[in-house]
Amino acid sequence: MTTFARRSLGMTVAMLLFAVPATASLAAEAAVVIPAPAIDEATKGSSETAIFAGGCFWGVQGVFQRVKGVRNAASGYSGGARETASYETVSLGKTGHAESVEVTFDPREVSYGTLLQVFFSVAHNPTQLNYQGPDQGTQYRSAIFTTSDEQQKVAAAYIAQLDKTGLFHAPIVTKLSKLEGFYPAEKYHQDFLTLNPNHPYIVYNDMPKIDNLKAIFPASFRANPVLVSKAKS
């Protein structure tokens, strides 16, 4: 969805929010409670990187910024060339990029498997092909860009495990590929959920994800998110 389209959606949702009683719920899709991965990464070192794509990066970033053990979560682009890694170009849907989030985490505090569990359960709907909620196009596809052979193995095994559970109403369409590059998004996209909690798009599509994270993963939830604007240079 382009900036204009998101703004239009925001106006529509704002009218809906104003029109319904305060007791009514206008939440986005409910999260799916899923088991932890049967296979996880071995703990190694104090810092690791994972790249997740699941629709608009505002909500995905906001979720991972609130997971204990995450040191930074930055919005950006993966899957295409450096030269086309800009919002206006990626929004055309022809660059190969997906709106992505680079998650830097301490594997001694949170495992890659736990991040995968959050990604599939709370951060997005992994059964939607080339769209996520109101956002249409390959730039909003469900994807994991792995940074090691071990990540590739764990993620592939987990997708197979989840498909066998039948907990999702359709097969998981998340694509796995080795990371070739992550390019940070423009400054105005970083920390967008935290800085704009009352934006209608955020209220309708993304704040429910934060509520679900707190409810489903209480031991992993942090009330104070780690922000790109506060990250050490």
Residue matched to tokens 């495992």? 111
* Cα–Cα distance for residue pair 21/208, rounded to 1 Å: 18
From 9, 31, 50, 56, active-site residue = 56
Say whether 37 is catalytic.
no
Q: Which of 110, 94, 115 is nearest to 51 (CA)?
A: 115
CA dihedral of 169, 99, 119, 188, whole degrees rounded to 10: -130
* Cα–Cα distance for residue pair 84/113, rounded to 1 Å: 31
User: Residue 5 is inside which H or E element, if any?
Assistant: helix 3-19
CB–CB of 147/50 below 8 Å? yes
> Annotated active-site positions, please?
56
